[in-house]
Amino acid sequence: MSDAFEQRAIELDAADPLRQYLDEFVPARDRALTAYLDGNSLGRPTKAAADGLAELVSNGWGSDLIRGWTDGDSPWMQWPETVGDLIGRACLGAADGQTVVADSTTVMLYKLARAAVDAAPEGRAEIVLDTDNFPTDRYVLEGISRERGFELRWIDADPDTGVTVDQVREVVGERTALVVLSHVAYRSAWLADMPAITQVVKDAGAVMLWDLCHSAGVVPMQLDEWGVDLAVGCSYKYLNGGPGAPAFGYVARHQQGRLHQPVQGWMGRAEPFEMAPGYQPAPGIRSFVSGTPPIVGMVPVRAGVEMVERAGVDAIRTKSVRLTEFAIELHDAWLAPLDVRLATPRDPERRGGHITLCRSDFRQVYRKLWADGVIPDFRSPDGIRVGLAPLTTTYADVVTSMRMIRDQIS
């Protein structure tokens, strides 16, 4: 006997226009998997990634060898920019020549934030950030503040929601050099008002840097149109780039030439193979590359982003909102009566692609779920984070996982 929610899930899955994308992913084979709810932390591998990696090893790397850097239609040397342009077009609302793939998110964040701080006019010596931003963002900015003698201005973010436009307006001013915020909060899934906050920061004469790790590939955005200065993001969450896949950085054209990143390596130099004395930045976005591009790591990124481009980020967002709505409905029916607290905004306009559920015993519940092949995330002290990646999560997965949580605590 299936209950009403199960029936709804069957109907929603049958009518899902993105349903066929699940077939493009590598199925879990060697370990039991009941429901994967961590696609917002490590996206699943695409079959195209597996094929592309095999192809790279046998043909590109295996046969072209070092000629792969310079020969053919798509020489590796250009991948930081060409894969960057693809991400810009498919996910960011960014015209070509402003997005680059390199480094990890942490390193790219350091490079862009340092560049912004170094270019700040005299008297602007504050960096604005929030207490609930992702740890690496806080640590990197603490380091830069120490390195450069800049002061940190902390916004006290509500951990169940996130940073509001008014909070930003209150702290920015003529002392502000840089503001760094996450588009989607990693814990609550709060979706910050990117166009409004960017405008407030620009009106104050400061530079805005967005961390897109939890929004790229699942929440549409228009970086160019909204006048964003800088952004960073990772490619292994909703872009399915694989564990440790390289990050991307966006530097708006109006900031290029004005900003100089601190890790000035040979691959970001003009004419690197001249091996000439002295560093001269390459023109445009290329100057934000430091060392040899991570080609092996970019193969799955390219496959994942091409898939997102085909599916369309607007269609992905539509399903994402329905998935989180459905999960919240199940929370209200099954979990709220058992004292589970929803730590995620109910307004879909202010919510990203995951939900967080809290109860004091959820650390133990989470361990039991993992043992049963239901794989959400745990966020200290008491939050189970349910990530609903639209290209791989079914409505049936939502019912299964919420029922398993209920059964553990009832």
Ligand X SMILES: *Cc1c(COP(=O)(O)O)cnc(C)c1O
Q: By CB under 6 A, name the binding residues for ligand X.
A: 104-106, 134, 136-137, 182, 186, 211, 213-214, 234, 247
- Where do runs of H (alpha helix) occur along 28-132? 47-55, 79-87, 105-118
Q: In the bound complex, what is the minimum distance in angstroms from residue 13's beta carbon to ligand X?
A: 28
Q: Which is nearer to ligand X, 250 or 334 (CB)?
A: 250
Cβ density class 88-119: b for 16+ within 10 Å, e for less: bebbbbbeebbbbbbbbbbbbbbbbbbbbbee
**In contact, 242 and 210? CB cutoff 8 Å:** no
Q: In the bound complex, what is the minimum distance in angstroms from residue 212's beta carbon to ligand X?
A: 8
Rg (CA), the chain: 22
Give the integer Cα–Cα distance in Å for 335 and 180: 35
Give the integer Cα–Cα distance in Å for 393 and 410: 25
Question: How far is CA 115 from its chain centroid?
Answer: 21
| Active-site annotation, residues | 134, 211, 236-237, 385
Neighbours of 359 (CB within 10 A): 17
Q: Which is nearer to ligand X, 211 or 229 (CB)?
A: 211
Q: In the bound complex, what is the minimum distance in angstroms from residue 40's beta carbon to ligand X?
A: 8
Question: How far is CA 89 from its chain centroid?
Answer: 15
Q: Which is nearer to ligand X, 8 or 385 (CB)?
A: 385
DSSP one-letter code for 321: H
Q: Which is nearer to ligand X, 68 or 242 (CB)?
A: 242
What are the phi and psi torsion angles at 33 (to 5°)?
-135, 115
DSSP string, 357-377: EE-TTHHHHHHHHHHTTEE-E
Start-to-end Cα distance in the chain: 20
Q: Which is nearer to ligand X, 168 or 404 (CB)?
A: 168
Q: In the bound complex, what is the minimum distance in angstroms from residue 145's beta carbon to ligand X?
A: 18
Q: In the bound complex, what is the minimum distance in angstroms from residue 54's beta carbon to ligand X?
A: 25
